[in-house]
Amino acid sequence: MTSTFGKGCHLHLIDGSAFIFRAYHALPPLTRKSDGLPIGAVSGFCNMLQRYVTDNHGADAPTHLAVIFDKGSHTFRNDLYDLYKANREAMPEDLRPQIPLTRAATEAFNIACKEIEGYEADDIIATLAVQARDAGGRVTIVSSDKDLMQLVGDGVEMLDAMKNRRIDRDGVFEKFGVFPERVVDVQALAGDSVDNVPGAPGIGIKTAALLINEYGDLDTLLERAGEIKQPKRRQTLTEKRDQIELSRKLVQLDRDTPLDFTLDDLELRDPDPDRLMAFLAEMEFRTLTRRIADQLGIDPPVIAEKPAQETAETPPEQPPFDAAAYECVHDADALRGWIDRIRDRGRVAVDTETTGLDEMVAGLVGISLCVDAGSACYIPLTHKAGATDDLFGSDQLAEGQMPLDEALALLKPVLEDDAILKIGQNMKYDAKILARHGIDVAPVDDTMLMSYAMHGGEHGHGMDFLSDTYLDHRPIPIKPLLGSGKSAITFDRVAVDDATRYAAEDADITLRLWETFKPQLHRAGVTTVYETLERPLIPVLAQMEMHGIKVDRDTLSRMSNAFAQKMAGLEADLHDMAGRDFNVQSPAQVGAVLFEDMGLEGGKKTKTGQWSTPANVLEDLATEHEFAARVLDYRQLQKLKSTYTDALQTHINAETGRVHTSYSITGANTGRLASTDPNLQNIPVRTEEGRRIREAFVAEPGNVLLSLDYSQIELRILAHIAGIDALKAAFADGQDIHAMTASEMFDVPLEEMTPEVRRRAKAINFGVIYGISGFGLARNLRIPRAEAQGFIDRYFERFPGIRTYMDDTIAFAKEHGYVQTLFGRRIHTPEINAKGPHAGFARRAAINAPIQGTAADVIRRAMIRMPDAIDGLPARMLLQVHDELLFEVAGDAVDATIAAARRTMEGAADPAVKLDVKLTVDAGKGSNWAEAH
DNA sequence: GACATCACG
DNA sequence: GACGTACGTGATGTCC
C-alpha cells in the first residue's frame, strides 16, 4: 500500500544532467574492457547515485526520489528565442553514447527516472517542487544550477552535492542579492552567457540586484526606468525593454509542466538485486558490483575477464547463419510472440520487401524482423498465389498470409514506440514505404549510414558488400529469385518459402551489422558525425521526397515538341553539310565527318581509338566551321530533350502530380547528397534555353517557390580553413571576391577592373578549391600553360596560407589515410600513397574534400534544423541542390519563411564551429523555379 | 556494361 | 624526366 504524498514526506529531485557532467569530468576516460565502449561517466554516475541513497539517512532522508533528465533539444524557449542555448558547446564525443546508459542505470537502481519531450529538466523539477510544497511536504533539489534558485523557500531547498552545502532563502540572497521571489527579475536583467539569455547589456547580477531592491520588482523598474539617474542604465532599460522581458520569459521556470505521473510514483523503492547486478555486470564495473553486492548481502555475479578485441573489424561472436531457422509468420498470434520479444529487447532490425525500387509507387509485399543474431522472421503479406503464367490464380493472394491491415495495426505501436530502436539498412527506404501505410517509424538507426560515417571513401555501403566484408557472409542473391530482363518478376511473385529465407536473412544481417558497427562508431571518432549529420537526415529527406515538387507536364511537352522540330532541321542541315547521312548522336561518327571527310587537323582520339569530339574541341572549331557549331546546337537540344523535357514527364507521379526525387545520403564521398530518379540537382540553368526548363517546376496555386542559396560558401570555408586574412576581410566587407582576388594578383585597382581580368581570377579561385594545376588552369582559360603556372605562383605568393593548407592537408592524409571536415566528418583517401597518376587524383581530392565536405555538413545542419525553424509556417522544404534549398510556401508567409530559413542557414555552423567568415544567404521567389532562383 | 558526353554545384 | 592533370555527382545514347 502506498501512502499519499503530504506532510512528513521529503522529495529529493536530482538534476540528471548535472550528475552526468560532474561524473564525466571527475573521472578519467574509462572504457569497457570487452569492447572499448566509453563508460567513465556511467561509472561515476552509478557511484554518485549509490552514495546518495546510502548516505542520506538523517533528518533529511528522502521518502521520495527521482532523477530528472532533459529530453529533446527544442523547448518552448526556442520558440520564444531561437538563439536560446545556441552557443552551447557540442557534447564530447565519448560522452554521447553514455547518456542513454545513465537512464538505464537510474532504472537499474529502481529510482524513478523522468523526462518529458520538449521540456527542460528544470521545468519538471519546478513543477514537482511546487506540487510537493503545496501538498505540505519538503523538497530538496540536488543541483547547483542557479536557474533553480527561484524555487527555494517554504520547505524547498537546494543541495549543492559537490560542496555538500544546503541552500535556503538566505543562501539565495547571498548569491543573487535578492530573495527567491525576485531571482527571475535579477536574471532577466543580468542575462546568462551560458544559456545565451541576452538580459540588459552592461548590467550584471550586482547592479541588477541593486535596481530591483530599489524599485521593488522588475515591472516597476521598467515602468519607472526614466527616473534612473545614471544615463547609461536609464538608456539601456528603456531601449532594451523587449529584450529584458524576453529574458524574463526565458529564465522563468514552467511550474505547470504536464506530467504523466504523480508525486506518489516517486516513492523511494528498494532496488531489485538481480536487475541491478545484471546492469552493473553488463557495464563490467567490478569494484562497484562487489561493493553493492556486499551492501545487499548477496553474492556478486562473476564478470568474465574478456580480452580486448584485437581489431575494430573483429565482429562480436555470433551464431552461424541458418536460413532454415527463420520463421515465416502466418497469423496474429505468431506475430504477437515476435512483438513481445521485440519489446523485451528494446530493439529490432526491420526490412521491408516491395514490388519495386520506387518508394512512392512500390507496393508492400512483406516485412522481416530480427531481434537477435540468427533469430529472424518474415511476415508475408501480399504475395500472389500460383505460378506467374497461371491465368486464373495469378492475381489471387497466396494462402497463409495475415491481412495487411491486421499486421500493420499490430506492428504500428512497436514501430512508433520511442523506447524501441528500429534498425535498418538504408532505413529511409523502409521509412517511406511504411509512411505510405500510416506508420511513422522512430527512432531509427541505419547500418548503411554507420558504415558511411566510419568508412566514407574506403568502399561502398551496400548490404552485400558490408555483409561479406564485416560478417564474412555472402547474402542470398536476389537475382535468382526475380530473374532478369523481360522475364523478371516482382517480389510478390516469389514463393513465400524462398522469400522467407531471403528477407529474414536481410534483417538478420542488418542486426548483426548493427551489433558490429555500434561499438565501433566512437572508436572511429565519428559518433557525433553519425548522430548529428547522418541519422537525423533520414526523416528530413523522407519528408522532402514524399512531398515532391509540382512539375507542369504541358510546359515540358510543348518544349519537347519545339526541340524535336529544331533538331530535325539541324539534322538535315548537318547531313547536307557532310554530304552524307550519319548519326549526329554518335561522337565517333561526328569525328569521322570532321577529321576524315572534311580533313580537319588537330582531331584527337579517345583511349578506345574513336575520334573525340567534346564540346570544348567543337567550340574551337566552331569559329571557322559551321558544321561544328551546328553539332553543338544539336547536342544541346538533344540533351535538354532526352534528359529533361522528355524524361521528367515520365517521373511525374500519377497520384500526386508531382516529381519525387530520391536523395542518396551516402552517394558522394564528401558528404554531399546525390539525387536520383530523377536527378533534380542538375536541372539546367547556365544557358538561357536550358533555364527555361525550370519554368516547368511550379508552385501550387496560391503558393510561391522560394530559393535560398549560400553565397560563395566554399570560398568562405577555404578562407576560414586556410586562414587567408585578405579573403576573410573581403568577405567581411561584402566585396566582390573575384574582383578582389584579381586586383590583388594583377595589381589592378578595383575601380579599373575589367571583366576579362576578373574572369581569370574567378577561374583561379575555383581552381584552388579543386587542387589547382597549371595544366588544368591553362585548359580552362585556354591560355599557355606557362602563363597559367605564372598565375598560380602569383596567387600562392599573395595568399601564402593556401600553399600551407594544401601541404598540410596532403601530409595529414598521407599519415592518417583520411582528411576531415570542420565538423569531424572523415573522408578516406586510400589512394593517397599510391604511385603513378592515381596519386595526383588522390591529392587533389584530398585538398578539395575538407572544403566541399564542410560546405556539405553546413547545409545538412541547416536542413536538419529546418523543420523546427519553419514549424507553424505554411511552408515546406522541397529540394536541396548542394548550396541551395528550395521551398514551397503559401503566398502570405513568404517573408516570414525567408527570414526563418535564412537565419537557420546562416547560423548552421553554430555552435559546433565558430567560422571566421560569416555565411550569407541570397533569397529569391517566384511562381516557378526559374523566377525564384 | 563500358565509354563519351554534358547537365549541375 | 615523364606521366597525366581541376573537385564532386547522374542520365543519356552509342557501340561492343
Q: Mind listing the pLDDT tens digit for each residue in A603-617?
A: 899 888 899 999 999
pLDDT in the model for residue A310:
45
Same domain? For A434 and A494 the reply is: yes
3-class DSSP state for residue A659?
strand
Nucleotides of C strand lying within 7 Å of any protein CB atom: 3-15
The residue among A356, A905, A429, A933 whose CA lies nearest residue A663 is A429
Average pLDDT value for chain A: 92
pLDDT of residue A311: 47
Please state whether strand B lies within 7 Å of residue A632 at its CB atom.
Answer: yes
Amino acid A169: pLDDT: 93
A878's grid cell? 522541397
Range A104-112 average pLDDT: 94
- Gap between the Cα atoms of A914 and A105, Å rounded: 35
> Does the pLDDT value for residue A389 go beyond 80?
no
Give the pLDDT confidence of A45-91 residue by residue, as tens digits. 999 998 888 888 788 899 999 999 998 778 889 888 888 887 776 77
Spacing of A681 CA from B8 C1' in Å:
6
Q: Which nucleotide, over all strands, has the C1' atom closest to the CA of A710?
A: B9
Domain end point (choices A701, A727, A750): A701
Same domain assignment for residues A441 and A509: yes
Output the pLDDT for position A507. 98
Protein CA A931 to sugar C1' B9 (Å):
19
Residues A345, A207, single domain; the answer is no
pLDDT tens profile A192-232: 877 888 899 889 888 999 999 999 999 999 999 888 888 88
A563 and A507 housed in the same domain: no
- Measure, in angstroms, how far nucleotide C12 C1' is from residue A629 CA: 21
Nearest nucleotide to A674 by CA–C1' distance? Answer: C9
Domain co-membership, A73 together with A191: yes
The answer on pLDDT for A3 being more than 80 is no
Nucleotide nearest to A776 (CA to C1'): C6
- Residues A366, A347: Cα–Cα separation, whole Å: 19
Residue A836 CA and nucleotide C3 C1' are separated, in Å, by 7
| CA A864 / C1′ B5 distance in Å | 36
Report the nearest residue to nucleotide C11, CA vs C1'.
A643
The residue lying closest to nucleotide B8, measuring its CA against C1', is A682
Stated in angstroms, how far is A837 CA from C2 C1'? 11
**CA A453, CA A527: separation in Å to the nearest integer?**
8
The pairing of beta strand A703-710 with beta strand A884-890: antiparallel
Asked whether residue A684's C-beta has any atom of DNA/RNA strand B within 7 A, the reply is yes
Q: Answer yes or no: do A453 and A572 share one domain.
A: no
* Chain A residues 151-210 within 7 Å (CB) of strand B: none
Separation of CA A590 and C1' C15 in angstroms? 14
Our measurement of CA A447 to C1' C4, in angstroms, reads 38
Could you tell me the distance in Å between the CA of residue A482 and the C1' of nucleotide B1? 20
pLDDT at res. A303: 82
Distance in Å, residue A855 CA to nucleotide C7 C1': 13
**Whose C1' is closest to the CA of A681: which nucleotide?**
B8
DSSP notation for A143-166: ---GGGGGG-BTTEEEEETTTTEE
Q: Is the CB of A804 under 7 A from strand B?
A: no
**How far apart (Å, rounded) are the C-alpha atoms in residues A580 and A882?**
45
Q: Is A682 exposed, middle or buried (0-12, 13-18, 19+ CB in 10 A)?
A: exposed
A895 in a structural domain: no
CB within 8 Å of A358: residues ≥ 6 apart:
A662, A677
Q: Can you give the CATH number for the domain in which A684 is found?
A: 1.20.1060.10
Is any atom of nucleic acid chain B found less than 7 Å from the CB of residue A669?
no
Whole-angstrom CA distances from A784 to A547, A653, A774, A777, A840 are: 50, 51, 9, 9, 21
The string of pLDDT tens digits covering residues A678-708 is 999 999 999 999 999 999 999 999 999 999 9
Q: Which nucleotide is nearest, taking the CA of residue A853 and each C1'?
A: C8
Q: Give whole-number Cα distances, A271 to A102, A295, A611, A705, in Å.
A: 16, 12, 80, 58
Residue A27: band (very low, low, confident or very high) from pLDDT cuts 50, 70, 90: confident
pLDDT given for residue A316 in this prediction: 57
DSSP A68: E
Å between CA of A538 and C1' of C7: 26
pLDDT top residue among A90 and A661: A661
Please give the protein residue whose CA is closest to the C1' of the nucleotide C2. A836
Which nucleotide lies closest to A457 by the C1' atom and the CA atom?
Answer: C8
What's the whole-number mean pLDDT along residues A132-136? 95
**Domain end call among A266, A282, A314:** A266
Q: Based on the domain organization, do A407 and A473 belong to the same domain?
A: yes
**Nucleotide lying nearest to A669, CA to C1' measure:** C8
Residue at A796 is within a domain: no
Rounded to 10 degrees, the C-alpha dihedral A64/A67/A73/A78 comes to 40
Last residue of a domain, one of A227, A250, A266: A266
Q: Is the CB of A884 under 7 A from strand B?
A: yes
Distances (CA, A) of A790 to A723, A764, A778, A785, A825: 23, 11, 10, 9, 35
Q: What pLDDT, on a 0 to 100 scale, did the predictor assign at position A387?
A: 58
Distance (Å, whole) CA A139 – CA A137 = 7
- Nucleotide C4 C1' to residue A832 CA (A): 16
Are the C-beta atoms of residues A660 and A546 closer than 8 Å to each other?
yes
SS3 category, A108: helix
Contact, A731 vs A716, CB < 8 A?
yes
* Residue A313 pLDDT: 47
Rounded Cα distance, A879 and A664, in Å: 13
User: For residues A720 and A822, what is the distance between their CA atoms, to the nearest angstrom?
Assistant: 10
The answer to whether A379 and A368 are in contact (CB under 8 A) is: yes
Does A542 fall in a domain? no
Q: Closest residue to C16 by CA to C1' distance?
A: A608
Residues A236 and A340 in one domain: no
The string of pLDDT tens digits covering residues A553-594 is 999 999 999 999 999 999 999 999 999 999 999 999 999 999
In terms of C-beta density within 10 A (0-12 exposed, 13-18 middle, 19 or more buried), how is residue A175 classed? middle
pLDDT the model gives residue A85: 80
Give the helix/strand (H/E) hosting A375: strand A375-380
Q: Give the pLDDT confidence score for residue A394 in this predicted structure.
A: 66
Which cell goes with A189? 536583467
For residue A1, the model assigns a pLDDT of 47
Is there a single domain that holds both residue A554 and residue A527? no
Residue nearest to nucleotide B2 (CA to C1'): A608
Whether residue A347 is predicted with pLDDT greater than 60 in this model: the reply is yes
Q: Which of residues 480-499 of A touch strand B (CB under 7 A)?
A: none
Predicted confidence band of residue A306 (pLDDT cuts 50, 70, 90)? low
CA A424 / C1′ B7 distance in Å: 33
What does the alpha-carbon distance between residue A728 and residue A717 come to, in Å, rounded to a whole number? Answer: 10
Residue A713, domain member (yes or no): no
Nucleotide nearest A670, CA–C1', reads: C8
pLDDT for A486 equals 79
- Kindly state whether residues A518 and A554 are assigned to the same domain: no
Mean pLDDT across the stretch A240-248? 93
pLDDT of residue A312: 46
Q: Is residue A807 predicted with pLDDT exceeding 60?
A: yes
In a domain, A417, yes or no: yes
Does a structural domain hold residue A352? Answer: yes
Q: CA A581 → C1' C15, Å?
A: 18
* CB-based contact A203:A218 (threshold 8 Å): no
CA of A706 to C1' of C10 (A): 25
Proportion of chain A above pLDDT 70, given as a percent: 97
pLDDT at A165: 81
For residues A779 and A619, the answer to whether their CB atoms sit within 8 Å is no
Q: What are the beta bridge partners of residue A12?
A: A65, A140
- The verdict on A115 and A163 lying in the same domain is yes
Chain B footprint positions (protein CB, under 7 Å): 3-9
Distance in angstroms: CA A310, C1' B9: 43
pLDDT at site A80:
86
Confidence of residue A515 (pLDDT cuts 50, 70, 90): very high
Does residue A779 carry a pLDDT above 80?
yes
Nucleotide nearest the Cα atom of A848 (by C1'): C7
Spatial separation of the C-alpha atoms in residues A602 and A605, rounded to whole Å = 10
Q: Which nucleotide is nearest, taking the CA of residue A583 and each C1'?
A: C14
Q: Which residue is nearest to nucleotide B4 (CA to C1')?
A: A587
**Closest residue (Cα, C1') to C7:** A770
Q: Which H/E stretch holds residue A100?
A: helix A99-108
Residue A925 parent element (H or E): strand A921-926
The answer to whether residues A436 and A557 belong to one domain is: no
Q: What is the CATH number of the domain that holds A232?
A: 3.40.50.1010
C1' of C12 to CA of A639 (Å): 8
Q: Which of A181, A167, A238, A254 is nearest to A213 (CA)?
A: A181
Residue indicated by cell numbers 529530453: A71
Rounded CA–C1' distance between A329 and C10, in angstroms: 40
Strand B contact at CB of residue A690, distance < 7 A: yes
- Three-class SS string for A756-805? HHHHHHHHHHHHHHCCCCHHHHHHHHCCCHHHHHHHHHHHHHHCHHHHHH
d(CA A689, CA A908) in angstroms, rounded, equals: 35
Instruction: Indicate the number of domains in chain A.
Output: 3
For residue A588, give the nucleotide whose C1' atom is nearest its CA.
C14
Three cell numbers written together for A599:
580533313
**A566-CA/B8-C1' distance, Å:** 24
Element at A104 (helix H, strand E): helix A99-108
Cβ contacts of A170 within 8 Å, gap of 6 or more: none
Q: Which of residues 603-622 of A touch strand B (CB under 7 A)?
A: 606-608, 610, 612-615, 618
Residue A853: CB partners within 8 Å, gap ≥ 6?
A670, A671, A672, A821, A825, A827
Q: Which nucleotide is nearest to A672 (CA to C1')?
A: C8
Residue A261 lies in a domain: yes
| Containing structural domain, residue A158 | 10-266
CATH at residue A430? 3.30.420.10
C1’ C1 / CA A836, Å? 14
Provide, in whole angstroms, the distance separating residue A810's CA from nucleotide B3's C1'.
31
- Residue A594 in any domain: the answer is yes
